[in-house]
Amino acid sequence: MRIFVPRDAAALALGADKLTAAIAAEAARQGVEATIIRNGSRGMFWLEPLVEIETPEGRVGFGPMTLADVPGLFADLPAHPKALGLVEAIPFLARQQRLTFARCGVIDPLSLNDYRAHGGLAGLERARGMTAEAICAEVTKSGLRGRGGAGFPTGVKWETVRKAEAAQKYIVCNADEGDSGTFADRLIMEADPFLLIEGIAIAGRAVGASRGYVYCRSEYPNAIKIFNEALRIATTAGMLEGFALELRVGAGAYVCGEETSLLESLEGKRGMVRAKPPIPALHGLFGQPTVVNNLISLATIPYILAEGAEAYAAFGMGRSRGTMPVQLAGNIKHGGLFEVAFGITLGELVNDIGGGTTTGRPVRAVQAGGPLGAYFAPSQFDTPYDYEAFAACKGLIGHGGLVVFDDTANMAKMARFAMEFCAHESCGKCTPCRIGAVRGAEVLDRMVAGHARPGDLDLVKDLCETMKFGSLCALGGFTPYPVMSAIEHFPEDFGGAPLPLAAE
């Protein structure tokens, strides 16, 4: 009997280790020979801890499991109170287009044999037979754009680094996943870490880099542990062919998710943002040509190389090609990771797939793209999930997070929080961000408390303009998005009249 219990951080946070021990003890008590495999998560977090049992028909799931549900796993399975049937038939999973996350939750994350048996390494093997130029061209042709948020074409960046001449080039993987509502990087590191290693190995070949770093945030101790173990296994197995890859741990600075700040941090300095140009592709880590890619961009590479650029580009809409791991979070009934081709609407994601709020109250707002992303109102739910369509709504896709709020949310408070967070995390280089965010929070405090002075709202709007155009990076530059969108779509929370329904 093969039983799967995730070792994902969310599953652990919900008691997966105790559950594993209880299952082992119950199996021993009943004299059943059971092999327990600690897989990653499928990304259906409302069902975690999700236990799976292998049957001749396929893997059947049970969740969310509690200790009291354990004895039932050794009885009539379909009659188990937490029985979910075949895991792959659960609509949330069946409706996805899992290209990048295909193996997540399926395999043992630390089994290279599992990885290979489920299609792993095919991309790297194909890349080995290609020239560096051909690999870069393949990535460009796939239409892949940076999944960290900026959406810059990955292949173009690679080609720039490839053409640069230097004794040392670097691949830097940005795994500083600080946006609230996102967990895609963490899921890959914990559920399919070899995928990232393969993506980095391909990137190294494509641009002629022999060293690389994965910069992971310190808030992910479980991901750090699993990835380091996977890296040791991959290195021993010769997967990296001499490419020197190392995991570095951040130290709790959100701004280090910005690429130049991240490079400063890797160099051992304060994470102060650098002015661009020069761009990191030419003058990056230690001044050398450097590919800085988001983890998801790198994790998408093996599919593109294995299946071909056309296969990847066949998904999506407009200039947003391929799939996006949308992360449904916050006050949502079915929270989790939903990988899907671009083009699905925001409303489908929140209501049809996410099932609305977990509190059962009406959805009031959805913040898309993390703390620097805009708040969307339900009246905008027909917006297709696409870089350009979101930009047209003065919003951003960012790293793919969607945080849902019900009708109890106070949007002036959320706008205030955006300013407070910016003040807390500002690196201090640009005055509009360093001081503007503090002043913005003060003015919004007055408004939340009902002591707004005449002209305060105009003051906030003016401040947002200054921050937007006077900051070097997205922290100061994008904090106005949540603030301005909250003011625009929820004026009643700022002392104004509610928008007429027809205008919404």
Partner 1 sequence: MAEIWNLQRAQEIIARHKAQEGPMLPILHELQDRFGSIGEEAIRLVAQSLNITRAEVYGVVSFYHDFRQAPAGRHVLKICRAEACQSMGGEDYAAALLHSLGLEWGQTTKDGRLTIEPVYCLGLCACAPNAMLDGQPRARLDATTLQALAGEAV
Among 40, 120, 146, 181, binds partner 1 (CB under 8 A): 181
Taking the complex as a whole, the smallest distance from the CB of residue 181 to partner 1 amounts, in Å, to 5
The distance from CA 275 to its chain's CA centroid, rounded to whole angstroms, is 26
Phi-psi region of 261 (alpha: psi -120 to 50; beta: other; left: phi over 0): alpha
Number of residues that bind partner 1 (CB under 8 A): 63
Among residues 182, 290, 294, 471, the one that binds partner 1 under rule CB under 8 A: 182
Q: Which is nearer to partner 1, 144 or 447 (CB)?
A: 447
- Out of 97, 160, 345, 358, the only residue in the binding site for partner 1 (CB under 8 A) is 358
Element (H, E) at 51: strand 51-55
CB nearer partner 1, residue 361 or residue 439: 361
Applying CB under 8 A, which part among 332-340, 385-393, 456-464, 486-494 lies near partner 1? 332-340
Q: Which among 302, 409, 317, 322 is positioned nearest to 361, based on CA atoms?
A: 409
185 and 293 Cβ atoms separated by less than 8 Å: no
Q: Given the complex with partner 1, which of 121 and 404 has the nearer CB atom?
A: 404
Stretch that binds partner 1, among 93-101, 122-130, 343-351, 397-405 (CB under 8 A): 397-405
Could you tell me if 332 and 359 are in contact, meaning their C-beta atoms sit under 8 angstroms apart?
no
- Taking alpha carbons only, the member of 342, 467, 469 closest to residue 415 is 467
Describe the strand order of the beta sheet including 170-175 as a list of residue ranges. Answer: 244-249, 211-216, 170-175, 290-294
- Residue 179 within binding range of partner 1, rule CB under 8 A: yes
Q: Minimum distance between the CB of residue 61 and partner 1, rounded to whole angstroms?
A: 17
CA separation for the pair 366, 364 (Å, rounded): 7
Distance from C-alpha of 169 to C-alpha of 350, rounded to nearest angstrom? 42
Residue with tokens 């921050």: 467
For residues 422 and 265, the answer to whether their CB atoms sit within 8 Å is no
Angle at 223 between CA 217 and CA 227, to 5 degrees: 110
Among 330, 395, 398, 480, binds partner 1 (CB under 8 A): 330
Of 177, 198, 339, 493, the one binding partner 1 (CB under 8 A) is: 177
Does residue 411 touch partner 1 according to CB under 8 A? no
Q: What residue type is assigned to position 383 of the chain?
A: T
Binders of partner 1 among residues 432 to 471 (CB under 8 A) are: none
Is residue 227 near partner 1 by the rule CB under 8 A?
no
Q: Which is nearer to partner 1, 407 or 465 (CB)?
A: 407
User: Is 414 near partner 1 (CB under 8 A)?
Assistant: yes
Q: Which of 281, 53, 26, 305 is nearest to 156 (CA)?
A: 281
Question: Binding partner 1 by CB under 8 A: which of 421, 481, 490, 494?
Answer: 421
Among 5, 14, 84, 106, binds partner 1 (CB under 8 A): 14
Helix (H, G, I), strand (E, B) or coil at 456: helix
Binding residues for partner 1 (CB under 8 A): 9-10, 12-14, 45-46, 48, 177-183, 185-186, 211, 218-223, 246, 248-254, 265-271, 286, 327-332, 335-336, 358, 367, 371, 401, 403-406, 409, 414, 417, 421, 424-425, 427
